Structure 1
């Protein structure tokens, strides 16, 4: 099969199966290989030099790495444009729930106050709604934490997307092809909102149950519920590309990465080496957790065997979790 050629000068283009835009290395013109570029948006990116400056500044401000700048070697960053659909969704839910409400009250017996625990089972019904805009990565292969944090930063900072034709004319970066349709993105958005909708149902049911017994500070636990939900609004934006720079640096023979939002240079995810001070903190945490709970367990051994056993077990578990940092060679900050 003949390789694609530049639509402007006719030169062969260097493409991969993932290519969306191929910039001709001879005339510098962008060539759009998939779909209609007029229907696609992209957020413009800072130039590579600005991204490098931002990454170096971030490293100089890091409490641990700034003292090791002379041992860090930065490489040239790579720019990737990740495809997202921004799905505007609203879900409504009608529910019926059985809630156990527990509270204490003071009663007087022969003039003496006594505290009693009261438990009531309350049946409630209601309706809740949830609205949100969900960024759905239009790729089957996940980019993990970096894509999620990039999308969150996009919503927080609100850069303005431009037509893909304008952004691609800059001639830098790799645009990754979208692998899912807008309809699939809508379905993924709804699935991501369902747990939050159910949590809102439980919150609303608990409030209604407390109001029903007239004790707003009572403990309420939803024992059973039936939920019927409907999708009241579900709209997907045009495919929108967000720029993500991946910058690699070498420290003590190992490679680490900064993931940088292209539009403002913010390091959204940073891989960093687990240094001696981090391992020392993990060791101190393990010793403190094990010592405190272990001491409590031994102190109660002869008076409360059950509580003693729980304390000793908890001490072992917390020590294990705290000591996990001793084994990690790298850590992630966001």
Structure 2
């Protein structure tokens, strides 16, 4: 453990392995030396042997991945000669991950269609289920951080299972030779992380049962254990580029350079697609109105409601200046 040396009104924390000054804030739980990579627990409950790091590719590799995306993406290929790289920034972000096991009970209501034509009707059906689940969960280990791309990075980490190195096993010389980035220190400890992960797991299961039906009549969950808790440092690269006076960004996973989520300009041909889609939504809405008029009430309401949702979504995209490309949940 590092010994703080007081100088007037400031405290300094130094690495116990190399003696370098550690960068800390009042919220820092674990400080990681940027010179030799040795971790130090400043306060709170943290197991240093459960801190891992995923190696990052270099800036040049990320830039190559960005240029490849410009060539391959159908939208970006049209404007690649007008795109200028504004900034490339890489950071290690800390995440707490664990496996949360729980059991519980849920009762939900679904309204299902029966019959056809004028005999079509909606039936209210009640479903009751017991569940016994084990979920992989993860949360950002900082109280405040730029949020765009972080959940996508965590999703992709779970899906791709990259190589991890235990931080205590990385020697000082290996760390210096490594093309590493600056690190953001975690700001809450293992105890708080365990509680948050358990709460998030319960919320995730509850939301899943809400999606199964139109009503969630009853839900109860009991956490059995939170296991495999670890702090993982994931490399994220943010490439900011300029196009026609506006800035956009692409988030890359540092371990393989893959672009995982991006903001992109909405080009004219895509706006045209949105207009055509809006016209189609109007046509579908008119068809639903005809069904309602002829007595097909339930089916007509569904068709008409679908047209409203479709038209609203396309209308929002039509008036937007940017769109988000590539965002999807890979794990829950």
2: distance between equivalents of 1:253 and 1:103?
Answer: 52
Question: Which residue in the other structure is 1:266 paired with?
Answer: 258
2: distance between equivalents of 1:145 and 1:300?
Answer: 44
Question: Which residue in the other structure is 1:331 paired with?
Answer: 323
2: distance between equivalents of 1:190 and 1:238?
Answer: 14
- Give 1:331 deviation, angstroms: 0.7
Tell whether 2:68 aligns with 1:57: yes
Question: Which residue in the other structure is 1:230 paired with?
Answer: 222
Counterpart pick for 2:163 among 160, 163, 184: 160
1: distance between equivalents of 2:113 and 2:59?
Answer: 61
Tell whether 2:151 aligns with 1:148: yes
TM-score (norm 1): 0.72
2: distance between equivalents of 1:301 and 1:132?
Answer: 44
Tell me, yes or no, if the aligned pair for 2:58 and 2:179 is still in contact at 8 Å.
no
Tell me, yes or no, if the aligned pair for 1:30 and 1:171 is still in contact at 8 Å.
no
| Partner secondary structure for residue 237 of structure 1 | strand
TM-score (norm 2): 0.72
- Give 1:160 deviation, angstroms: 2.0
* Aligned pairs (5 A) from 1:279-290: 279-290=271-282
| Partner secondary structure for residue 185 of structure 1 | helix
2: distance between equivalents of 1:121 and 1:42?
Answer: 49
1: distance between equivalents of 2:293 and 2:114?
Answer: 32
- Give 1:323 deviation, angstroms: 1.7
- Give 1:84 deviation, angstroms: 1.0
| Partner secondary structure for residue 92 of structure 2 | strand
Tell me, yes or no, if the aligned pair for 2:288 and 2:300 is still in contact at 8 Å.
no
1: distance between equivalents of 2:260 and 2:135?
Answer: 22
Counterpart pick for 1:182 among 170, 174, 190: 190
- Give 1:190 deviation, angstroms: 1.7
Question: Which residue in the other structure is 1:211 paired with?
Answer: none
| Partner secondary structure for residue 257 of structure 1 | strand
Computed over aligned residues only, the root mean square deviation of the Cα atoms, in angstroms, reads 4.3
Tell me, yes or no, if the aligned pair for 2:153 and 2:260 is still in contact at 8 Å.
yes
2: distance between equivalents of 1:291 and 1:121?
Answer: 32
- Give 1:15 deviation, angstroms: 4.8
Question: Which residue in the other structure is 1:215 paired with?
Answer: none
| Partner secondary structure for residue 55 of structure 2 | coil
Question: Which residue in the other structure is 2:242 paired with?
Answer: 250
Question: Which residue in the other structure is 2:95 paired with?
Answer: 84
Question: Which residue in the other structure is 1:109 paired with?
Answer: none
- The alpha-carbon distance between structure 1 residues 237 and 65, as it changes in their structure 2 partners (threshold 3 A), is same
- The alpha-carbon distance between structure 1 residues 102 and 53, as it changes in their structure 2 partners (threshold 3 A), is closer
- The alpha-carbon distance between structure 1 residues 73 and 22, as it changes in their structure 2 partners (threshold 3 A), is farther
Question: Which residue in the other structure is 1:74 paired with?
Answer: 85
Counterpart pick for 1:319 among 308, 311, 314: 311
2: distance between equivalents of 1:322 and 1:184?
Answer: 41
- Give 1:33 deviation, angstroms: 6.7
Tell whether 2:54 aligns with 1:43: yes
Tell me, yes or no, if the aligned pair for 2:34 and 2:183 is still in contact at 8 Å.
no
- Give 1:127 deviation, angstroms: 4.1
2: distance between equivalents of 1:315 and 1:254?
Answer: 33
| Partner secondary structure for residue 256 of structure 2 | coil
2: distance between equivalents of 1:235 and 1:140?
Answer: 23
* Aligned pairs (5 A) from 1:109-124: none
- Give 1:149 deviation, angstroms: 1.4
Tell me, yes or no, if the aligned pair for 1:43 and 1:159 is still in contact at 8 Å.
yes
- Give 1:143 deviation, angstroms: 4.3
- The alpha-carbon distance between structure 1 residues 291 and 32, as it changes in their structure 2 partners (threshold 3 A), is same
- Give 1:139 deviation, angstroms: 1.5
Q: Where does the alignment leave 5 or more consecutive residues of structure 2 unmatched?
A: 1-9, 327-332
Tell me, yes or no, if the aligned pair for 2:15 and 2:22 is still in contact at 8 Å.
no
Asked which structure has the greater CA Rg, the reply is: 1
